[in-house]
């Protein structure tokens, strides 16, 4: 029994004392992501573990370093968008981690950032010229770290200005469509126009026959053999039903119809002596 307890204690000691050491082993094997995670776990148990702090910093630097090499290989293979996506992710990690690295890594990062920025601005211009300002906007929105990490540039400002003008023009064209009374088109156009800072300016009203802005309940209850007509007595039930209605596809706040619904049922109860009332 004593021998078993000793073995259990030894196993626990090895497991508990080796988190930082496990991180070191993973780092030496080149498994930097796993090492970073393990060092983090060690610091969660002991925030003052200086060895884990140092290991975490080294692992994060290597993650950035290796990642930049992969970015360069992707760029040389002409996978420019994939390279830009990976670089954006690395820059976000760097900003979150606040890591400091050597001048060699910094130079590689600057070179790849410049190449990706030139590519992205070129693609943004191409999308605008092709009549797809929303695609151009998406490229900017998903690569802000690359495009604006060191501040904006005249080229970026020029393409964004051209893109906004193109988007507003497309917004105006969408608003002029003859199906502008369609609620789903209106919702789409309204959101699309808001992307370019424009509000929906169409004066068309929503007149879809199946859309309602409100609901009214008419109740018909049967108690024993007597017909009873009355309004809904429970405000809580009424509120719950109206809330459920607003979550359906038949509700729209700008519609001008009220949906009339009938609720019917039989109400009956009996006391403990089973006498009907």
What is the 3 state secondary structure string of 137-178?
HHHHHCCHHHHHCCCCCHHHHHHHHHHHHHHHHHHHHHHCCC
For residue 162, the tally of other CB atoms under 10 A from its CB is 16
The answer to whether residues 123 and 227 belong to one domain is no
The answer to whether residues 146 and 233 belong to one domain is no
Q: Which of 113, 130, 151 is the last residue of a domain?
A: 151
The answer to whether residues 128 and 254 belong to one domain is no
Q: What percent of the chain has pLDDT over 70?
A: 76
The answer to whether residues 30 and 108 belong to one domain is yes
- Given a cut of 70, whether residue 6 has pLDDT beyond it is no
Q: Which of 99, 116, 151 is the last residue of a domain?
A: 151
Range in 25-34, 67-76, 173-182, 264-273 the model is least confident about: 264-273
The answer to whether residues 130 and 248 belong to one domain is no
The answer to whether residues 133 and 236 belong to one domain is no
Q: Which two tokens stand for residue 238?
A: 């009424």
- Given a cut of 50, whether residue 36 has pLDDT beyond it is yes
- 258 lies in a domain? yes
Confidence of residue 63 (pLDDT cuts 50, 70, 90): very high
- 173 lies in a domain? no
- Given a cut of 70, whether residue 202 has pLDDT beyond it is no
Structural domain range at position 243: 214-267
Number of domains in the chain: 2
Give the pLDDT of residue 276: 43
Confidence of residue 101 (pLDDT cuts 50, 70, 90): confident
Give the pLDDT of residue 8: 59
- Given a cut of 90, whether residue 191 has pLDDT beyond it is no
The answer to whether residues 44 and 145 belong to one domain is yes
- 259 lies in a domain? yes
- 166 lies in a domain? no
- 228 lies in a domain? yes
- Given a cut of 60, whether residue 228 has pLDDT beyond it is no
- 99 lies in a domain? yes
- 274 lies in a domain? no
**Better pLDDT: 17 or 149:** 149
């Amino acid at each position: 029994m004593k021998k078993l307890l000793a073995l259990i204690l030894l196993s626990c000691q090895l497991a508990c004392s080796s988190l930082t050491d496990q991180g070191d082993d993973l780092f030496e094997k080149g498994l930097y992501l796993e090492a970073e995670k393990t060092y983090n776990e060690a610091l969660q148990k002991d925030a003052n573990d200086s060895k884990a702090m140092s290991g975490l910093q080294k692992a994060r630097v290597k993650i950035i370093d290796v990642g930049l090499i992969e970015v360069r290989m992707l760029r040389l293979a002409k996978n420019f968008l994939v390279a830009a996506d990976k670089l954006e992710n690395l820059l976000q990690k760097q900003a979150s981690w606040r890591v400091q690295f050597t001048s060699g890594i910094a130079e590689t990062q600057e070179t790849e950032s410049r190449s990706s920025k030139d590519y992205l601005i070129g693609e943004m211009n191409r999308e605008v010229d092709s009549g797809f300002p929303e695609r151009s906007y998406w490229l900017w929105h998903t690569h802000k770290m690359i495009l604006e990490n060191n501040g904006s540039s005249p080229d970026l400002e020029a393409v964004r200005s051209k893109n906004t003008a193109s988007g507003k023009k497309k917004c105006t064209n969408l608003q002029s469509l003859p199906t502008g009374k369609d609620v789903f088109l209106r919702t789409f156009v309204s959101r699309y126009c808001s992307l370019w800072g424009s509000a929906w300016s169409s004066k068309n009203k929503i007149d879809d026959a199946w859309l309602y802005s409100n609901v009214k309940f008419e109740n018909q209850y049967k108690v024993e053999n007597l017909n009873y007509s009355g309004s809904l007595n429970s405000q809580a039930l009424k509120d719950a039903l109206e809330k459920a209605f607003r979550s359906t596809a038949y509700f729209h706040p700008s519609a001008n119809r009220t949906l009339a619904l009938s609720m019917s049922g039989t109400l009956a109860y009996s006391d403990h002596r089973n006498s009907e009332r």
